[in-house]
Amino acid sequence: MDKLIIRGGTPLSGKLTVSGAKNSVLPILAGALLAEGPVRIHNVPRLRDVATMIALLRNLGADVAGEDTTVEVTQSSVSRFRAPYDLVKTMRASFLLMGPLLARFGRAEVSLPGGCAIGPRPVDQHLKGFEALGAEVELQGGYVRARAAHGLRGCRIALDVPTVGGTENLLMAATLARGTTRIENAAREPEIVDLAECLLAMGARIHGHGTATIEIEGVPALRGSEHRVMPDRVEAGTYLIAAAATRGSIRLLNGQPSSLGVVLQKLEDAGAAIEAMPGGIALDMAGERPRAVDIATAPYPGFPTDMQAQFLAMNTVARGTSRVVETIFENRFMHLNELSRLGADVRLEGLRTAVVRGVTRLRGAPVMATDLRASFGLVVGALVARGDTVIDRIYHIDRGYEGIERKLRALGADVRRVSEGQPTS
């Protein structure tokens, strides 16, 4: 199992190219099943989760060809409609195959999802929507089986929570339904807009994506198309936070400031000078220690839960005390114990609030990655700590951060990856 060894203390500085968005490319890869011709996807990040989605598509019989960051999906030979547990268990986004399979082939069987162990993450809203669209849904042996022998039909779906995956699954399913579907209380995340734009290029009729009400007029068929995945706002925000924590100065190329509004605001509150221009973001701490800043996660355009752990890690070395409130997921504070091992002064108040008292310095220690984003919280801690931090189980990080040691090294950090006891780079 790979580990990262980070010697902290160097301010991050330099330029970084942001990769394509993981949370956008996963639904887009699944959505390619809807088209009758090949779908070419550009700016695909090389990540474990992307490899898992490609393995799932191939397992269904789709042809996936790829070179570098471009992938082409042709679904003409799909002959199976089942996404098996051993692939699905590692990645919750596998459940996004359900909508496209059901819409295109009238049947789907997908194992109940796994993914990060961050509290109960039901799929009841997805299932409620499929049923409203006319599918018969049953749970059997850990699998969700859905059928729509005579196709789906448009309907009104009011989501109880603005679920990102649920909105995407139902949006994809509705593109081929008979009639118009209206999704209310839809999630508004930029990745949903990116998916909708890809579907529009395939010939779908969608209005209102990016707002809380999305309308989809079903069409009889979708065609092959080409799409460039948006830059990863979580990766961009993560490196900006890491730079601020280390009192550094970095410039992101290919970042998308418009998708990072509240995060940039909070970084400014922490003392960062931020310059946002189309296609890039510069952050400079002028060598100063960050100020503690309160955050509360919320659906977009609120502060993203996927950057909570990293921001909390910055607060551990900030001037002052802060409160970090997690409103989206339960059990998303697993990094607190590990950050304490580095000398952070953090405690839970109830289940959803962490109180963080900034200390002047953390000290390196062995720690364990627990989930994807929490793991980068530990990386931020390690980058500011004195001495070496060994982060175990970094397969969590590889699910969602492309070339982490390469990117951090380019910014001046002292980072090594060790595979099964052997230093590899």
Catalytic residues: 116
- With respect to ligand UD1, which residue has the nearer C-beta, 28 or 244? 28
- Exactly one of 19, 23, 175, 256 binds ligand UD1 (CB under 6 A); that residue is 23
Question: Does the protein bind ligand UD1 through residue 175 (CB under 6 A)?
Answer: no
Question: Does the protein bind ligand UD1 through residue 122 (CB under 6 A)?
Answer: yes
Question: Does the protein bind ligand UD1 through residue 329 (CB under 6 A)?
Answer: yes
Question: Does the protein bind ligand UD1 through residue 165 (CB under 6 A)?
Answer: yes
Question: Does the protein bind ligand UD1 through residue 126 (CB under 6 A)?
Answer: yes
Question: Does the protein bind ligand UD1 through residue 124 (CB under 6 A)?
Answer: yes
Side chain identity, residue 388: D
Question: Does the protein bind ligand UD1 through residue 198 (CB under 6 A)?
Answer: no
Q: Which stretch binds ligand UD1 (CB under 6 A): 62-70, 98-106, 118-126, 376-384?
A: 118-126
Q: Which residue is nearest to ligand UD1 (CB)?
A: 165
What is the smallest separation between the CB atom of 366 and ligand UD1, expressed in angstroms? 27
Whether 402 and 425 have beta carbons less than 8 Å apart is answered as no
Question: Does the protein bind ligand UD1 through residue 171 (CB under 6 A)?
Answer: no
What is the smallest separation between the CB atom of 280 and ligand UD1, expressed in angstroms? 24
CA angle 180, 229, 209 (to 5 degrees): 25
Question: Does the protein bind ligand UD1 through residue 405 (CB under 6 A)?
Answer: no
Question: From residue 144 to residue 163, what is the string marking binding to ligand UD1 with x (rule CB under 6 A)?
Answer: -----------------x-x
Q: How many residues bind ligand UD1 (CB under 6 A)?
A: 21
Question: Does the protein bind ligand UD1 through residue 375 (CB under 6 A)?
Answer: no
- Exactly one of 34, 56, 60, 93 binds ligand UD1 (CB under 6 A); that residue is 93
What is the smallest separation between the CB atom of 93 and ligand UD1, expressed in angstroms? 4
- With respect to ligand UD1, which residue has the nearer C-beta, 185 or 337? 185
Show contacts with ligand UD1 in window 235-254 (CB under 6 A): none
* List of residues contacting ligand UD1 (CB under 6 A): 23, 26, 92-93, 121-126, 161, 163-166, 187, 191, 305-306, 328-329
